[in-house]
Amino acid sequence: MSRGPYNLIMTKPLGAPLPTIRRLPVYVRILKERHEAGDIWISSDALGRRLDLGAIQVRKDLSSVGAEGKAKHGFPIAETIRVLTEFLGTDDYAEVFLIGAGPLGAAVLADDNVVRHGFKIVAVFDPDRDLSGAEVFGFKVFPLSKMTDLVRRTGVKIAVLAVGPSALREATDVIAATELEGVFDLTGLAPELPKRMVVVREDFGSHLAALAGELGGKRRAER
Amino acid sequence: MSRGPYNLIMTKPLGAPLPTIRRLPVYVRILKERHEAGDIWISSDALGRRLDLGAIQVRKDLSSVGAEGKAKHGFPIAETIRVLTEFLGTDDYAEVFLIGAGPLGAAVLADDNVVRHGFKIVAVFDPDRDLSGAEVFGFKVFPLSKMTDLVRRTGVKIAVLAVGPSALREATDVIAATELEGVFDLTGLAPELPKRMVVVREDFGSHLAALAGELGGKRRAER
DNA sequence: CTGTGTGAAATGATTCACAGCG
DNA sequence: CGCTGTGAATCATTTCACACAG
């Protein structure tokens, strides 16, 4: 999100529709899965079935970012992975900082999917001084104050924000002072961040609520 | 998601557009925030600004589920919370099971947002027999095999799936045997689940990749 | 005036229909 | 045939424009 409200002139095209961009990583994961299983080709239909999407949508998505398939065979798995990850720019953004070494931060560190998608947490920061120097899943925890400098020196462009409410202010202040380009905000508190940064927000609570809402809707519809 | 592909006849109306339903919980959170701060009224504009949404969208969303505002004042916070949570059915779905007591499961248990949105994890299950009986954040961990029976006895309708790849098969088999209505799948592995269940899937990895994709898109657009 | 409420218009995404290729 | 590729049609969501209420 963070698609600003009054976008009068010149809306920027991202090269593909946003929903497509959001599906891309999911394709990549399945493709890698098939690649590891030794498959060479996959049809849009097979790919779609795996994800409850129509074959046509898969083709539209893939073709909109320049991936090409071959009639009769489908899409060449290795090449398609290449095109997709290049489009996603995963390689340019592979190194990520993590802010927050609590249970949520630990879950991010332990998450295979983060690795599977080609990312690497390269440093962990925490506002709590008591945690500095501690180790979480083999990562040494740095004091938050070191981050500004490390962003500059390493050129890392994405941070995952996973702190609790008490440390939020301090964390956002530090982030605002950096040249970071994107923040993955897991706090669920929708903190204000500089407009120049792309922010993706997710939290367990609101997804649960949305799920409950869908269930409630289904129930409503059935009566 | 999990909107089936070939939905030939009779698409079910959920009472409101899906994107709206997904924004509702976010409104609720902000409203509760303001409520606790002692505010009585909030304007659609203030609410929208807090979330990078236009005021009009907020009004459409709220009015589409029956929340009413008053000219000059805005929306009455307490009443609006009531209407929204009733629509979302949070109360009917407040009790949730958690499958998986690893770092990810622990993060869910420790997450304030889950509570803030009105949910309560009422039991934790894990396929790993060694974990059974252990305690995570004050929750006793039950063997997965107990779940089928407990779903029946308690009437819980939602489970959060947070296991690793090795336990996935066992977990999905157990889920499929229950009368659960919704699954919040955090595995990132898109396991097959019965069509009758509403499934919401989220994983850190693909959101990171989508973020990288947006950043890449922005960069592409700037040249 | 400052705000809500809503039909109508605009935008955006998905799905269809069919041409084309191996 | 089996499968891709894509303009055109459909469908969904957002935004606009303006009526109306305190």
Please identify which residue in the block is written with the tokens 């702190």: A163
3-state secondary structure of A178: coil
Q: pLDDT tens for residues A177-223?
A: 999 999 999 999 999 999 999 999 999 999 999 999 999 998 888 87
3-state secondary structure of B39: coil
Nearest CA in chain A to B158: A212
Helices (H), B44-181: 44-49, 55-64, 77-88, 103-110, 112-116, 147-154, 165-176
Range name among A3-17, A57-71, A163-177, B33-47 with the lowest pLDDT average = A3-17
More confident residue, A13 or A205: A205
- Taking C1' of C4 and every protein CA, the nearest residue is B71
| CA–C1' nearest nucleotide, residue B63 | C5
pLDDT of residue A15: 87
pLDDT of residue A5: 35
- Gap from B88 CA to chain A (nearest CA, Å): 4
- Gap from B155 CA to chain A (nearest CA, Å): 14
Range name among A125-134, A165-174, B89-98, B112-121 with the lowest pLDDT average = A125-134
Partner residue facing A117 (CB), from B3, B88, B206: B206
Q: pLDDT tens for residues B17-67?
A: 999 999 999 999 999 999 999 999 999 999 999 999 999 999 999 999 999
Q: Using an 8 Å CB-CB cutoff, list chain B residues near A111.
A: 103-104, 188, 203-205
Nearest CA in chain B to A211: B200
| CA–C1' nearest nucleotide, residue A6 | D15
pLDDT of residue A110: 97
* Spatial distance between the Cα atoms of A31 and A35, rounded to a whole number of angstroms: 6
State how beta strands A158-161 and A95-99 pair: parallel
Question: What confidence tier does B221 reach under pLDDT thresholds 50, 70, 90?
Answer: confident
pTM: 0.93
Q: pLDDT tens for residues B85-130?
A: 999 999 999 999 999 999 999 999 999 999 999 999 999 999 999 8
Measure CA B146 to chain center.
24
Question: What confidence tier does A14 reach under pLDDT thresholds 50, 70, 90?
Answer: confident
Q: Using an 8 Å CB-CB cutoff, list chain A residues near B193.
A: none
More confident residue, B218 or A166: A166
| CA–C1' nearest nucleotide, residue B20 | D13
pLDDT of residue A130: 86
